[in-house]
Amino acid sequence: MLDAAQQQKVLACIAAAERATSGELRVHLEASCSKEPVARAIEVFHQLGMQQTAQRNGVLIYLAFQDQKFAIIGDTGIDAKVPTNFWNSVRDRMLIHFKEKQIAEGLCEGITHAGQKLAEFFPPLTNDQNELSNDISFG
């Protein structure tokens, strides 16, 4: 799905976004999704322990690349602060790139946009720690 250089680009986007926030961003990639992508993203979110952040401000970008399905979900802390249609607007921005087969660029677009919103509501703490791995997870 992503070659080594593309993975490094996505990881750099995550690191850059997280420097401006106490929030946590993760990307999960898998080949296929037999259910509705938001439902699968919620499962993955919990499998990765993303609900365990202190401020409940984790964001997961889930992509099933062969099925061309994806979802962006946020934990309760960030969901309580963003406008109702925010995750849909992030999805739409990513979709522009995905339609052009620019997967890494689409992921970076979503990461950057979500990171900006996290930074707005969850600035870095003085004792900020990276609560979750920045690594891309694979299913």
Give the CATH number for residue 47: 3.10.310.50
Domain membership flag for residue 48:
yes
Burial of 61 (0-12, 13-18, 19+ CB in 10 A): buried
Residue-wise pLDDT tens digits, 73-113: 999 999 999 998 999 999 999 999 999 999 999 999 999 99
Count of the separate structural domains present in the chain: 1
**Global confidence as pTM:** 0.95
Residue 21, in any domain of the structure: yes
103 in a domain, yes or no?
yes
Question: Does residue 46 belong to any structural domain of this protein?
Answer: yes
Query: Does 86 map to a domain?
Result: yes
